[in-house]
Each structure stands twice: as C-alpha cells, then as structure tokens.
Structure 1
Amino acid sequence: MIGANVIKLENLKNLIKNVDKLSMGFHDKLYLMQYRRVQYWIEWQARKSCIIVEFVNPSYSSVTCPKCGKRMEEVAHRYFRCPSCGYENDRDVIAIVNLNRGL
C-alpha cells in the first residue's frame, strides 16, 4: 500500500487576526467555514497513523508560477496563466504544487 508520510496544510492562523481587512462577503463566509476544526481533525487522524503534519505559508501560493516564480495573471475564473513562461492551470492546482515545494 502506498500512502502519504507528510500532510501539508496552509497556516491560516493569521486569517482571523486580519478579518477586519477582508470584504464583508468573505468575512461572513470565513466564520461559516470552521477551517480550524477541519485542520484539528486532520492533525488528529494523522497522529493516529503516525503521519507528520506541516503547516506552510499560503501567501501568493495560487498566483506564483511554479515553473519560473513570476506572478501569474487570471485569464478565466480560477484559471491563471504566466505571462513570462506561458504555464497555465487552475489556481488550486498551482497552490498545491507551490505548497508541496515549500514556496
């Protein structure tokens, strides 16, 4: 069986501290998400299975090109393209690649 030995989660602890800087629409959604509850559950399950949990900085993870490191531009809803090297993908895929590399 092939499995993960490390789980990487975004460090979102400062998100609540900066909530006053967010739009009201996002502000309301933030409290509904209960993201920390999900993170605690993931950590708990990982510990039971001897899996390491790492928290990584999420800053610019979905808009930084994983190939060349330049800032990407949104060309469609949730879809970004790098003007420098031409790489394009969904912002969630871009973030996963960048966070996995520790960028």
Structure 2
Amino acid sequence: MIESLRKLPREHKVSLLILSYGKISEWIDWQCEKHGAPVVVVEPKGTSTRCPRCSSKMMENRYRVFKCPRCGFEADRDTVAVLNIEKRALTQMGGSLTTPTALQMTDVNPNRCGEPVNPLKGTLAL
C-alpha cells in the first residue's frame, strides 16, 4: 500500500494530506460542540517568532529555542507559539476566558475517549 501511495502524483498526495487535516478539524469541532467549548480560529502566522510578553521579534538562541532581546524571555518555539495562539484567541474572545455559553449535546453518552457508547452492552458502538 505504501508503494502504491509513493507512485501517486504529488497533487494527489497533497490532497490526501489535506483530507486528514480536515477530518481532525471536524473531530475537534464535534468535541467542542459536545462539551460546550467555543471554537476560536487563530491565524498562526508569526506565532513562534514573536515574544508573548512584549511582542518583539525573538532571536534563535539554540536549536528550537528562541530568546527575546528586549525582555529576555526564553522558551522552545512550540511553547512560544502556544502562548501566542492563546493570547490571540483570548483577544478574539473579548480578553478573558469565561465559562462557555454554548449548549451541550445530550444525544451522546461519551466515554473517556469521546466515542459514543452502546447503552445496551456498555461497549463502543460500531
């Protein structure tokens, strides 16, 4: 199967990759709706290179570690990105994280993995 995927044209490979991201996005939206959590879409551009404290451009200090020349904040680029995405999301939501007001879905009985449970047997529904 892997060999047959390698033989596909580049455009088809890209389409398959985008399809998998779409499925993850649908699952996240479903989980947020089910649990009453808001979904906030944030533009990720520049999130790993801007300082989450003072918003200045960070410089690479070591491999994957950035340091702010202005305030001295230092962290892994993934951590910097998460802090900046959180900051942007909170700004879009009005500045503070409040209790979600969305209605929760009651037609599903989620287990710890978030999958529907078969009420008759207590097992995962197929």
Q: Deviation above 3 Å: which 4+ runs of structure 1?
A: none
Residues 1-103 of structure 1 aligned to structure 2 (within 5 Å): 31=17, 34-102=20-88
Amino acid in the other structure paired with 1:98: N
Q: Distance in 2 between matches of 1:75 and 1:97?
A: 18
Deviation for aligned residue 1:88: 0.5
Closer, same or farther in 2 for the Cα pair 1:75/1:33, shift >3 Å?
A: farther
User: Residue 41 of structure 2 aligns to a residue in which SS?
Assistant: strand
Q: Distance in 2 between matches of 1:84 and 1:98?
A: 17
Runs of 5+ consecutive residues of structure 2 not aligned to the other structure: 1-12, 92-126
Closer, same or farther in 2 for the Cα pair 1:80/1:31, shift >3 Å?
A: same
> Normalization by structure 1: what TM-score?
0.64
Deviation for aligned residue 1:31: 2.7
Runs of 5+ consecutive residues of structure 1 not aligned to the other structure: 1-26
- 1:17-53 superposed Cα distances (whole Å, 9 cap, x missing partner): xxxxxxxxxx97x938932321211111111111111
User: Residue 66 of structure 1 aligns to a residue in which SS?
Assistant: coil
Amino acid in the other structure paired with 2:50: T
Amino acid in the other structure paired with 1:75: N
